[in-house]
Amino acid sequence: MSHQSSLISVIMPVHNAGTYLEDAVVSILNQKDVYLELILVDDHSTDHAIEKLKSKLTQDKRFKLVTSEERGVVAAMRTGFAYAKGEYIARMDADDISLPQRLSEQLNYLMEYPEIGIAGAQIKIISDSVIADGFILYETWLNSVCLPKDIERELFIESPIPNPTAFFRRDIYEKLDGYHDPIWAEDYDLWLRAHAMGIKMGKPKGVLLHWREHDSRLTHNDDRYNNKLFMQAKAHYLSRSHHLQKRKAIIWGAGPTGLYLHDILVEQNVEVEAFLDVDPCLIGGLKRGVPVLHFSELNNHISKQDNSALIIGAVGARGARAKIREALLDMGKEEGADFLFAA
């Protein structure tokens, strides 16, 4: 069987997607050079957008409409997967637009790199209003982390795979047991679990999805997407990872982000032995009962310890990550082994 004839099951949860729904659906049904089924899962919608669309698609045998008994996007994905017959599982949101070559490019990518289990995609953020600078920076970052080694290196900074671009080998999706429903974002949780299980993730080159920014997006209206819960997810998986096996932590940043990371790492039984900072008002003092050092004191501090602690960058200020990385590399530290970033 050629890969062009491999069935791709696209699962699209829908809750009151309104006028965006038709464009999202059409963008999937217009995919080039792939064999697909689109499983649209009604997650208790009340805006009648699905009913209006259904009458236009009754003749398209690739289209399936099912209803989720339980509420929420995770339940909708599980419902959709129960109907999925494909060798590959693709995720799609009801307010975004997949470019015509998206699925074929992702399929070809996984065929070319059999060691990769999950393909994401580069994206372009679109909006009917002005796109905030923060989203533009996030788009730039997302599109810069494509190779598996890049995604692994920067996984604890932010969610590296835009959820509506996710494309799985079916056996990998089953191995992960799909999306879970933790207190934090379900997609970030999935990428963190995949990493913990040794599953590689990557992205083909080129923008394949237009990601729509608007006030009704779930990420703006569900508490599980707030920054503190993201940090809890990072601490939960980081504390269980090889990075912190029999190692202590040193946190670069004694401000609010670093202090919060300290608190939740300690809750996960990780010992934090020091903070690093550049603020002269903090250096030489204590935070949470541990010393705050100037970063230039790092090597001297580590040489006095029995083993090298993991340095975790936790400064949220724009541009700080690049400066911290440069300083640590100049000290001979290796990113991913001696240090990583959580902000």
Chain segment 138-174, per-residue pLDDT in tens: 999 999 999 999 999 999 999 999 999 999 999 999 9
Is it the case that residue 4 has pLDDT exceeding 90? no
CATH of domain 228-341: 3.40.50.720
Average pLDDT rounded to a whole number, residues 2-15:
87
Is it the case that residue 207 has pLDDT exceeding 50? yes
Enumerate helices (H) and strands (E) in the chain, giving the number of each. 13, 16
**Most confidently predicted of 41-55, 171-185, 222-236, 304-318:** 171-185
Average pLDDT rounded to a whole number, residues 23-44:
97
Is it the case that residue 33 has pLDDT exceeding 60? yes
What average pLDDT does the chain have? 94
Q: How many angstroms separate the Cα of 321 from the Cα of each of 154, 303, 340?
A: 11, 24, 10
Average pLDDT rounded to a whole number, residues 300-316:
84
On whether the 3-225 domain is CATH 3.40.710.10, my answer is no
pLDDT of residue 216: 67
CB 195 within 8 A of CB 155: yes
Task: Give the predicted TM-score (pTM) of the model.
Answer: 0.94
pLDDT of residue 220: 66
107 membership: H or E segment, kind and range: helix 102-112
Q: Buried b vs exposed e over 36-58: b needs ≥16 C-beta within 10 Å? A: bbbbbbbbebeeebbeebeeebe
pLDDT of residue 1: 40
Average pLDDT rounded to a whole number, residues 243-258:
96
pLDDT of residue 56: 83
Rounded Cα distance, 191 and 223, in Å: 19
Block residue for tokens 């059999």: 114
Q: Which of 13-27, 107-121, 157-171, 291-305 has the lowest mean pLDDT?
A: 291-305
Is it the case that residue 225 has pLDDT exceeding 50? yes
Rounded Cα distance, 193 and 310, in Å: 21
pLDDT of residue 2: 47
Q: Looking at per-residue confidence, does 223 or 69 come out higher?
A: 69
Is it the case that residue 185 has pLDDT exceeding 80? yes
Q: Where are the domains of the chain?
A: 3-225, 228-341
